Structure 1
């Protein structure tokens, strides 16, 4: 089984485009989309219900907006609960900037023995277009800094578009429980990757080229630049603890 975890907050028009593309990418595969409607104020809930009549979507709903951390944790918890050894869990954005066309290559890497596969902007063939310049430089700089501190062998630590072996997430949940992810902002993707790498004992990481087109997204950005920078910087001392196994253990 392949689980696709989609945290959703006010993404109604984007989901109408994204879900059929996920289905195309996974034709003939046993898969389920776990969509977490995080207290959306638009038609996200209605759109998901409509799409679930045609596609295998499991809808989980937060009655109020609880943030990316809570939505991702809810989705991953459900995937771990439902899954078994040999399954794959994919995380991706629901704003249609992550093209499902990359999923097949990610699954091939998992089948070849990778524990985690990252859709990466920074490997050969990767590219990002229509992305605001400040976000390009922020992402590049943050990846350089966190790469030095984390010890994780990847070029794109901030990409949330990933495939995980189910067993990696299971072991990380067993070690950390509710403290699987605690960050409140976009830095959550780095936190999850580092924790799965160390606490899930999943050291084989592969990357595939990601073509990221920010122009496909409908609606404004949800990123607060100052909060995002501060969030990443606060991760550095935490990462040092995770590397030694001293942080976040129950």
Structure 2
């Protein structure tokens, strides 16, 4: 199978991680390509990416944005770029090694070999597989997914997961310009929309390890958006049925 595969990684001040992450992804089996979307990192993250583009000129790409515009908008930018450049499988992943790059292969196989449209790297499908998080944060994350399941009916154990593989049909089917949320709720909205549109979803067990370098971007405001956003998604689904995107603009 000669599929084009693109890993999208949004960054803000990831100088301590980005070089190692790029080298790791570039050396995986399967010829993964990588798109970094940097939101004006003052620490020089983009400069490191540019230097490595000389080493991987046809596999490493960079989009620079002037300021922090939110995780969701970064991914939407990346998705649109991936579709325009005819990638078959598109991945979301963090820059800080909380997601093990080796698991990209397992997510890809879940879609390309097992036939799923969306594969989620799940912390909770086989228990609680989280390393180095304080118990309070583990509980908050776990029960956030329980809350999402209860309110929406979404049959996903790790509703807030940010490690995913999409077949391009999912991203073409979702009306990306209508995605509402830009923070923590973005991950929930994308899964919920894919489910409502009838795409086949699976969860692949992973071990999530908290970052050892750099600073977390989590905030109480992001969590609040998710709590209220889930209610909005459920209400919207009751009054406005989800329909596949018919636009040929991408």
TM-score, normalising length: structure 1 = 0.88
Contact 2:76 2:176 in 1 (8 A): no
Dislocated runs of 4+, deviation >6 Å: 247-250
* The one of 213, 217, 222 aligned to 1:218: 213
**Aligned partners of 1:22, 1:132: CA distance in 2, in Å?**
28
Aligned to 1:131: 133
Change (3 A) 1:125 1:144: closer
Segments of 5+ residues of structure 1 without an aligned counterpart are: none
Aligned residue runs from structure 1 range 19-58, under 5 A:
19-25=22-28, 27=29, 29-55=30-56, 56-58=59-61
Aligned to 2:84: 81
2:227 is the counterpart of 1:233 = yes
Aligned to 2:248: none
**Aligned partners of 2:183, 2:217: CA distance in 1, in Å?**
10
Deviation at 1:118, TM superposition (A): 0.6
**Aligned partners of 1:248, 1:198: CA distance in 2, in Å?**
6
2:185 is the counterpart of 1:196 = no
Q: Deviations over 1:159-218 (max 9, x none)?
A: 10000111111111xxx24113x213222111111122224x31x21111111111x431
Question: Between Structure 1 and Structure 2, which shows a larger proportion of helix residues?
Answer: 1
**Aligned partners of 1:248, 1:7: CA distance in 2, in Å?**
28
Deviation at 1:46, TM superposition (A): 0.4
Deviation at 1:139, TM superposition (A): 0.4
Aligned to 1:144: 146
Aligned residue runs from structure 1 range 145-184, under 5 A:
145-172=147-174, 176-180=175-179, 182-184=180-182
**Aligned partners of 1:171, 1:245: CA distance in 2, in Å?**
20
Superposed CA RMSD? 2.1
2:65 is the counterpart of 1:71 = no
Deviation at 1:126, TM superposition (A): 6.0
**Aligned partners of 2:23, 2:31: CA distance in 1, in Å?**
15
**Aligned partners of 2:176, 2:202: CA distance in 1, in Å?**
26
**Aligned partners of 1:104, 1:89: CA distance in 2, in Å?**
12
Segments of 5+ residues of structure 2 without an aligned counterpart are: 246-250
**Aligned partners of 1:131, 1:32: CA distance in 2, in Å?**
30
SS at structure 2 position matched to 1:207: strand
SS at structure 2 position matched to 1:236: helix
Q: Deviations over 1:141-166 (max 9, x none)?
A: 10001012222221111110000111
Change (3 A) 1:139 1:121: same
**Aligned partners of 1:151, 1:51: CA distance in 2, in Å?**
44
